[in-house]
Structure 1
Amino acid sequence: MKENKPSTINEFIDNSPEESREVMINLKTLIETTVPKAEGGISWNVPIYKYHGIVAGFSLAKKHVSFGIDALTEELRKVIEDKGYKTGKKTIQIKFNQDIPSTEIKALLLKQMQCNEQ
């Protein structure tokens, strides 16, 4: 990443290494179409989407994009891991050469949005 801190999600993506951009653009599009009421911005120096609280966000690592969401359950983590992704307690690592697990992420976004609305 360049030294300048981005003030928008598009700046964050534009300032990122070229090989990482497609994953981030696809995540951005998926989040914005699944949760159109969510407001995107930069918090903690990374893209974060909020709707009645934090919905999801992503960050850049050396060889992957890390998608973070509180709604990630142990059951869904196993499904995602079986598809070849590495997960953490609340994160999914998407390598630059991997497609994003759209179906699972969309389900997580909808679940998180419902949780935030309650």
Structure 2
Amino acid sequence: MNNVDEYIESFSDKRKDLLKQLRQIIKETIPEVEEKISWGVPTYYYHGYLLQIAGNKNHVGFYTTPTTLAYFKEELKDYKTNGKNTMQISLHQEIPTQLIKKMILFRVKENTQ
């Protein structure tokens, strides 16, 4: 699989909808972002690696950095995280649009300072 559209379309359930929403938020927040499949999942670059999204069995993953998760620890309390770089959004949760935007902008700041 070599393009993000194919990756997202490979899902036929709520994961597809959640991935589409995450992709839209990312592109709206950083219109200049580069998008490609790396490590088998949608990966976004802006002044270097920015983040990834992925569909998993019972959730979608939003992959950032340990510093991002630490900075937003309190706001992430309703989501499962791995303490390293992953925020899990279960298939029963809504996308926290404003939090995702803040996390994206935090990553942009990390990459451009």
How high is the TM-score relative to the length of structure 1? Answer: 0.86
The equivalent of 1:80 in structure 2 is: 76
1:53–1:75 Cα change, 3 Å: closer
Partner of 2:112: 117
**Contact 2:53-2:61 at 8 Å conserved across structures:** yes
1:2-59 deviation per Cα after TM superposition (whole angstroms, max 9, x unaligned): xxxx211111000123221111000000000001111101000000000111111111
In structure 2, stretches of 5+ residues that fail to align are none
Contact 1:72 1:91 in 2 (8 A): no
- Runs of 5+ consecutive residues of structure 1 not aligned to the other structure: 1-5
How do 1:1-118 residues align onto structure 2 when only pairs under 5 Å count?
A: 6-70=1-65, 71-81=67-77, 84-88=78-82, 89-118=84-113
Q: Percent identity, please.
A: 32
Q: Once superposed, which parts of structure 1, at least 4 consecutive aligned residues long, lie more than 2 Å away?
A: none
Q: Provide the aligned C-alpha RMSD in A.
A: 1.3
Amino acid at match of 1:76: F
